[in-house]
Structure 1
Amino acid sequence: MTERHTDHPDILDLLPRLGDDDAGVRRIALIELADLEEPEGLPWLTDALLVDASAEVRAEAARLLEAWEEPEVVQALCAALADAAEPVRLAAAQSLSELKSQEAGLLILPWAEHAEAFVRASALRALRELRLEEAAQPARLALDDIDAAVRREAVGILGWLKHEPALPDLAQLAGSEPDTDVRRAAIGALGLAQDGRVLPALVAALQDPAWQVREEAATTLGKVGQAEAGPALVQALDDSYWQVRLRAARALGRLRYRQALAALAELLGHGIANLRKEAALALGELGDAQALAPLCAAEADSDPEVRKAVRIALAQLQGAA
């Protein structure tokens, strides 16, 4: 470990234990050092992260550094992504994902091109919520990465940035990507467009082999807000998975697609309460007086949450009238 000097009395008291031969003693000393919340103690924490012989101590150091945004801390955490021990890598990745400053993001950015896939994916994950415009180009390049986890994190960045130039790439991923999680992420990211450009990809995704992707497609179609998606969403009300049917009902309500009234009314008799509840709420959003009769018939539903949804829907319709 690099020789360090300090005049801070509390840190001086900890130094013997920070250098103890027992890894358990060193780990507890690191926790006490972090509890001081003194920037002067950071060099000992970063040293422990990078060079301590014990993986347990290195992992603890990575966890303890999550609240710090200093450049030396960010660099140390990035370097720890390539640690030989998985617990250390995972702890470093988690701490990096907690960072909030774009200055930290600029330091993380080069690690998105690291030779190791875990490092690339973790760097992109850390960059996602920072909304760093400089991350858009490496994220677009990472859409072709050989590792699915890297591609998934790249999609996340483009979605958070609402990076419209990437829409054609995301639409292509939605239909051709072999990994289910990446396809689902791409479908969700297409919601950044509030126009019809993404409708073909989203409507096609309602036929995806994975129900999770179909569910995401129905959800995203509701967000995009294009009435042209109505017929496909009505068909999705017959999906073999109730989760997809629920999201399709919710989307049809958001779109106020009145042609779905009969299909939604039929769902009021479904055996799954959550689906009856969502159908009732969607009927209320349609704003069509013809929904009054089926909703009134559902006022005696056996589930209290469904009855509540029916009351809300009836109030919406009566208010509109």
Structure 2
Amino acid sequence: MLRRTLAFTLLLLLVAGQLTAAPKKTKRPAKSNEPVVTLDPELANQIYDILERGTRSGDLAARGTAYGGLAYVTAEGKDTIPYLLDGLKDPQSRVRLGAAFGLIRVNNPAYRAPLVQLLGDPTLNLLDEVLPGLMLLPPADAAAIVADALAADTTRDRNRLMRSVIDFGGPLLLEVVQQAMAKGGEAATTVKRVVPQLGMDTAIFLYPVLLTVADAELKSMILANVQNTPEGTDLTFVKPLLKDKDPLVVFAAAKVLANRGDAEAATLLLPQALGDDVKQRMEALAAIRKAADASHLTKLETLLDPAMRMPPNVLVEVYGAYAHAGNTKIAAQVQASMRGMDAALRAAGARYLGHMEGTRALEDLHRLLFDGNAEVRQAAAFSLGYLRSPESIPHLERALRDTSDEVRLGVIEALSQIQDPQVLNIVQFLVSDSNKDIRVAAIRALAQMKNIATTDTLRVALQDADPDVRYAALRGIMATDLVQGRAAFNLAMGWLPPGAMVDMARIMGKDFAPYIGLALEHNNDAVRYEALRALPFLGTEAEIQLLEGMALRSRFADMKTAGLKRLTKLQGKGAAATLQATIADPDAPKPLKIGALRLLGDTKAIEALDALKLALLDGDEELKVTAAVAILKIHAPNP
């Protein structure tokens, strides 16, 4: 056992900070050149007493925290290795964890096997208890332990471990992905299984990092997900993959970027567009269509040669490329296609006739709205939507009686593009249509008008049996009427589909903050956690304002805890005042105070020492031990 007679000069742990990128080679950090920090003898004595008693406590949490505290302090003149090795034999996993962290500090490799086992322990909070301590090691060494745990039979829930590493982020994530992929087997399989399943709200922040270390297969899986991100999402991180060594990765990256209008990426797709692989040709043409310029059209023109005998699905993509580039050179060919006998060819011509001839095409397109082929009718509606002419309204209204729901959907979309008061009276009756998709399309068309006169109709749609219809109606009301929108959102929170708040926050930004404020205080746990996921999309200023309110005033302890964690991550020392207020609150539950004490140590805010010294006098042993460790962390020298 450690004895009271030991000196009170404390050698404090150098805590490794998280970096933005993993180094190629990782070495154990050199010892700091700063002098040993000498605490006031009385305070040092107090801290030592608390830690020593804590390691013998009957309180499991206090005992584990005290052992963890030994990772932050070594008493001068005493070999603590036997003591820490003995701690590895404790039946409680948190105590073994603390002992393992202490062994990391004294460079004893006995920590490795226990940590591999503890990473698979379902009773431990990996994100808060295990992974931060692993960062006492260089990222590469910590990741090697995680990779071993992902491969170990003792880890029953590998998905849980990988998701925790993803949430933890930083250089550890990069190293784990790299080493797990190299390790193969269950470790690599877990990475490939978990990463593509991530919700886009989480994934979009991780993909720029993961793509720098992923292999070709994982890169392709990630790019397939990125393809589905909303318009306006920043995808510049995909650009370097246009020079990847793997041609399939280059093809996937080029499709993603060309679909967002990147001309350079479209150029890289031309060989596939002109090649013999039918599937790759269609994928390339569909992407090029959205980024085409004159240089691309020169190459694609060969596909329009009648001698090539290209099928209509190829022609419609080439027509689309010309339309996107604003080039009407092929107007005569499009007109000829529209007048042909082949229905698919007529549809190809009808779809882009408006782009080629402008309002001169209205008469032909109005006629084609009632063609004998549904595909042609749908294509005509698309073209009329592009032209947005009020002259088309009576023709489109009559076309709403079409027997094909696909055509009716196309007609509603065309009407929504025509900003004319007549459209409101036509579309609002479709909100009660028997087809759900028609109802949703009609509601979106009304919402696009942002006319206060649509509010009553949209409020009726909020009572629809289908959640997709209700969600579309809610979005419409929120976009049209601020007061009614907030009231409708308050009633809707319980049935909103997963991811809805993230979508709205991404679109509305800080304007969505008042709605998130309501959701964070909802009685339903799932609603509150959906709101938490949406917070980062509001912008830092709006997020911090909500987090401070959560931390100090929320009715729910879990929200207070989440608020404090996120606030500390965003503000560092700036969060110290809020953390101290939590510790001083006599009504704060013990777990919340424990969390605040730990976070206060992470801030390294010297101004918090008085609050921490006061906590050393608390009657609860776990609180005292946690405060002692926090003081040591604040005094630890920086690297």
Same fold (TM over 0.5): yes
Flag the 1:127–1:306 CA change in 2: closer, same or farther, 3 A: same
Is the CA contact (8 Å cut-off) linking 2:430 and 2:439 kept in structure 1?
Answer: yes
8 Å Cα contact 2:467-2:495 kept in structure 1: no
Query: Aligned equivalents of 1:213 and 1:314: distance in 2?
Result: 40
Alpha-carbon displacement from aligned partner over 1:109-162 (angstroms, at most 9, x marks no partner): 132121221110011234355573333221111011011100000001110111
Aligned counterpart in structure 2 of residue 80 of structure 1, from 285, 309, 330: 309
Mind listing any 5+ residue stretches in structure 2 that lack a counterpart?
1-269, 290-295, 547-639
- How many Å separate the matches in 2 of 1:124 and 1:202? 24
The alpha carbon displacement at 1:183 in A equals 0.8
**Paired AA for residue 199 in structure 1:** L
Which deviates more, 148-157 or 293-302?
A: 293-302
State whether residues 431 and 442 of structure 2, in contact with CA within 8 Å, keep that contact through their aligned partners in structure 1: yes
Tell whether the 8 Å contact from 2:455 to 2:477 is kept in structure 1 after alignment.
Answer: yes
Deviation of 1:273 (Å): 2.9
**1:61 CA drift (Å):** 10
Deviations 1:76-99 (A, max 9, x none): 259836xxxxxx343333333322
Q: 2:529 aligns with which of 302, 312, 320?
A: 302
Residue 172 of structure 1 aligns with which residue? 398
* Paired residue total: 255
1:142 paired residue among 357, 368, 372: 368
Instruction: Name the structure 2 match of 1:262.
Output: 487
Instruction: Determine whether 1:151 maps to 2:151.
Output: no
Matched, 1:205 2:430: yes
> Are the structure 2 counterparts of residues 79 and 224 from structure 1 closer, same or farther at C-alpha, using a change threshold of 3 Å?
farther
Give the partner amino acid of 1:167. I
**Cα drift, residue 198 of structure 1:** 1.0
1:310-321 aligned at under 5 Å gives the runs: none
The letter of the residue matching 1:95 is V
* In structure 1, distance between residues paired with 2:280 and 2:469: 42
The TM-score, its normalising length taken from structure 1, stands at 0.64
Shift of 1:293: 7.5
| CA distance, structure 2, for counterparts of residue 214 and residue 274 of structure 1 | 21
Q: Which residue of 2 aligns with 1:92?
A: 315
Give the equivalent residue in structure 2 for 1:234.
459
How far residue 166 of structure 1 moved from its aligned partner, in angstroms, is 0.2
Kept in 2, the 8 Å contact 1:98–1:126? The answer is no
In 2: Cα distance, 1:58 partner to 1:269 partner: 46
Q: Which of 216, 238, 245 in structure 1 is aligned with 2:470?
A: 245
- Higher relative helix content: 1
Give the match's secondary structure for 2:463.
coil
CA distance in 2, matches of 1:309, 1:253: 18
Q: Which amino acid aligns with 1:215?
A: V
DSSP 3-state at the match of 1:200? helix
Cα drift, residue 264 of structure 1: 2.2
**Conserved in 1, the CA contact under 8 Å of 2:362 and 2:384?**
yes
TM-score (norm 2): 0.34
Partner of 2:554: none
1:195 and 2:420 correspond: yes
CA distance in 1, matches of 2:481, 2:439: 20
After superposition, the Cα gap between the structure-2 partners of 1:150 and 1:78, relative to the gap in structure 1 and judged at 3 Å, is: farther
Over aligned residue pairs, what C-alpha RMSD do you find? 4.3
The offset of 1:310, in angstroms, is 8.1
Q: Give the letter for the 2:430 counterpart.
A: A
CA distance in 1, matches of 2:402, 2:545: 44
Separation of aligned partners in 1, 2:442 and 2:307: 35
Where do 1:272-311 residues align within 5 Å?
272-275=497-500, 294-295=518-519, 297-298=521-522, 301-303=528-530, 304-307=532-535
1:294 offset after TM fit, Å?
3.5
2:412–2:427 CA contact under 8 A, matched in 1: yes
CA contact (8 A) 1:277 1:306 kept: yes
Letter in 2 for 1:297: E
- Between 1:198-207 and 1:298-307, the stretch displaced more is 298-307
| Corresponding residue of 1:160 | 386
Aligned residue identity for 1:119: L
Provide the C-alpha distance between the structure 2 equivalents of 1:260 and 1:102, rounded to a whole number of angstroms: 44
Q: Which amino acid aligns with 1:98?
A: A
Query: CA separation of 1:152/1:252 partners in 2, compared to 1, >3 Å: closer, same or farther?
Result: same
Structure 2: how far apart are the matches of 1:78 and 1:137?
A: 31
On the 8 A contact 2:389/2:418 being kept in 1, the answer is: no
